[in-house]
Amino acid sequence: MSHRNRQLRVSSLARVEGEGALDVVVTDGRVDSARLQIYEPPRFFEAFLRGRAFTEPVDITARICGICPVAYQTSAWNAIEDACGVEVGAPITALRRLLYCGEWVSSHALHVYLLHAPDFLGLPDVVELARHERAIVERGLRLKRAGNAILEAVGGRAIHPVNPRVGGFHRAPPASELARLVDPLRRALDDALETVRWVAGFDIPDARIDQPLLAAHDPDRYAIERGALVTSTGQYFPAAEFLDHVVEHQVPHSSALHARLDGQHYLTGPLARYTLNGGQLSPLARQAAAAAGLGESCRNPYRSVVVRAVEIVYAIEEALRILAAYEPPRPPALPVEPRAGIGHGVSEAPRGLLYHRYQLDAAGTVMDAVIVPPTAQNQAAIEDDLRDVVARNLDLDDAALTGLCERTIRNYDPCISCATHFLDVRVERR
């Protein structure tokens, strides 16, 4: 077998959300190209959002992703309320953060246990893991259920919640209903701490990515449902300036657009959040992180599994904190009157920063929509990592190297369904 010229291809990546392929070409012992191909068919959300009412993107954009619908809903209402000049106030913001914590717990538990852990254990899937370690899988499913229970109690449904709206919620759940979440969440906190210990014991390869990091930042707390933007290169700017820093361009092998931050490939997601905002985690989450061997920052993509586990701990604690102080917001939604203008919104989807921008006319009709999902932002950095992994492991046979490439991609929890739809307003034409 010649290692000098080879092509590796995985036509359908497994244990990722959505459909993607991997294509690596090596010529004369050098990596020619390493591509995460996104061939999932486009669905044209930005196009059909034009002409819709300003109240509709919350329901419509949820359908971009069944794994992180609350992220889409949140960035949508942040942008639309920004355009309309409305601030919803602390009680509604707290209920929204609780809802989002449910999505973090559910999505992170899905990724840690069902998608990512099998890589560290050399197994094809969680069913195989359950054959050996049923109690561990049951713990992961309990965690996932705890997250979904929050989504159902606050959002009315775990996938594509029906209760949220622009301005707040259709119905404020009574305190007695939400009180039922508390005991299962207390048990879930133990499960989450066990999870951190479990993943910290994985055989985690050495790796490091050096790209700039980007995350939302909230001066008051670990940013989830809102924030300004902070970067590892020392930039700090409001959501309204996102498109001044992030430029997208189209590449032939992908129905997702690639994004650059101030001209550079960059990364959003758990590593960026932990590195940029880790000091704002709760004492318990920080303690769990330290015991798991995480330092002040984390730039090893394999170790993102530990960061996700720590974020589960934090999200459960946050949910319990919000529930302890919960009083139903009155009214459940503030009136939002449309006005002509442009609004920007960001939030931290489990897999990274999600940006929305809407232009409304005076009647509240959407004239233009821009959505920049996390995986589109991460795609170039993922490919840099792939190229590096291949270059450093050319001595491996094709099967082993392909497997390593697939693991590399899964480290980033890519959501390919999300990445496939967005509008490019600033095109780099060459």
Residues 280-319 that bind another protein (CB under 8 A): none
Q: Which stretch binds another protein (CB under 8 A): 63-71, 180-188, 218-226, 260-268?
A: 63-71
Q: Which structure tokens are listed for 326?
A: 């919960």
Asked if 173 and 154 count as a contact pair (C-beta separation under 8 A), the reply is yes
Q: Which two tokens stand for residue 313?
A: 């701990």
Q: Closest separation between CB of residue 41 and another protein, Å? A: 4
Site membership for another protein, residue 15 (CB under 8 A) = yes
Is the Cβ–Cβ distance between 98 and 150 less than 8 Å?
yes
- By CB under 8 A, residue 221 contacts another protein: no
Whole-angstrom Cα distance, residue 92 to residue 415? 28
Q: Contact 181/323 with Cβ under 8 angstroms?
A: yes
Taking the C-alpha atoms of residue 307 and residue 311, their distance in angstroms, rounded to an integer, is: 6
Stretch that binds another protein, among 8-16, 294-302, 314-322, 351-359 (CB under 8 A): 8-16
Alpha carbon of residue 150 to chain centroid = 18
Q: Counting contacts by CB under 8 A, is residue 383 touching another protein?
A: no
CB of 267: closest distance to another protein in angstroms? 22
The bridge status of strand 246-249 relative to strand 236-237 is: unpaired
Among 22, 26, 58, 64, binds another protein (CB under 8 A): 64
Interface with another protein, residue 53, by CB under 8 A: yes
The CA distance from 392 to 403, in Å, is 14
Per CB under 8 A, which region of 138-146, 177-185, 294-302, 337-345 contacts another protein?
Answer: 138-146
Applying CB under 8 A, among 250, 337, 367, 392 the residue interacting with another protein is 250
417 contributes a contact to another protein by CB under 8 A? yes
Residues in the interface with another protein (CB under 8 A) total: 72
Give the binding range for another protein (CB under 8 A) out of 151-159, 202-210, 258-266, 386-394.
Answer: 151-159
Interaction between residue 69 and another protein (CB under 8 A): yes
Backbone conformation region of residue 306, classed left if phi is above 0, alpha if psi is from -120 to 50, else beta:
alpha
Task: Select the residue interacting with another protein from 26, 35, 59, 83 (CB under 8 A).
Answer: 59
Q: Please, what is the angle between helix 398-410 and helix 374-392, to 10°? A: 150
Among 8, 36, 65, 306, binds another protein (CB under 8 A): 65
> Does residue 367 bind another protein (CB under 8 A)?
no
**Cα torsion 374, 380, 383, 385: sign:** negative
Query: In a 3-state reduction of DSSP, which class is residue 356?
Result: strand
Rule CB under 8 A: is residue 133 a binding residue for another protein?
A: no
Per CB under 8 A, the list member of 12, 27, 233, 264 interacting with another protein is: 12
Q: Which is nearer to another protein, 3 or 157 (CB)?
A: 157
d(CA 302, CA 125): 18
- Is the bond preceding 331 in cis, omega lying within 30 degrees of 0? yes
* Among 194-202, 220-228, 251-259, 278-286, the segment contacting another protein (CB under 8 A): 251-259
* 422 sits near another protein (criterion: CB under 8 A): yes
Q: What's the min distance (Å) between Cβ of 150 and another protein?
A: 13
Q: Using the rule CB under 8 A, is 19 a contact of another protein?
A: yes
User: To the nearest whole angstrom, how small is the minimum distance from the Cβ of residue 62 to another protein?
Assistant: 8
Q: Does 83 bind another protein (CB under 8 A)?
A: no
Residue of 195, 234, 241, 191 lying closest to 214 (CA atoms): 234
- Report helix, strand or coil for 196: helix
Residue 14 beta carbon to another protein: minimum distance, rounded to whole angstroms: 4
DSSP run (H or E) holding 360: strand 352-360
Q: Applying CB under 8 A, which part among 153-161, 206-214, 270-278, 376-384 lies near another protein?
A: 153-161
Burial of 135 (C-beta count, 10 Å sphere; 0-12/13-18/19+): exposed
d(CA 421, CA 40): 10
- Cβ-based nearer residue to another protein, 170 or 186: 170
Q: Is 388 in the site for another protein (CB under 8 A)?
A: no
Nearer to another protein, 159 or 394 (CB): 159
Q: Does residue 130 belong to the site contacting another protein (CB under 8 A)?
A: yes
Q: Which is nearer to another protein, 18 or 212 (CB)?
A: 18
Q: Closest by alpha carbon to 360, among 334, 338, 337, 345?
A: 338
Q: How far is CA 102 from CA 68, 105, 188, 294, 312, in A?
A: 10, 5, 12, 24, 10
Indicate whether 421 belongs to the interface with another protein (CB under 8 A): yes
Question: At its nearest, how many Å lie between another protein and the CB of residue 160?
Answer: 6
Run of H or E residues at 98: helix 90-109
Residue 70 interacting with another protein (CB under 8 A): no
> Which 8-state DSSP code applies to residue 85?
T
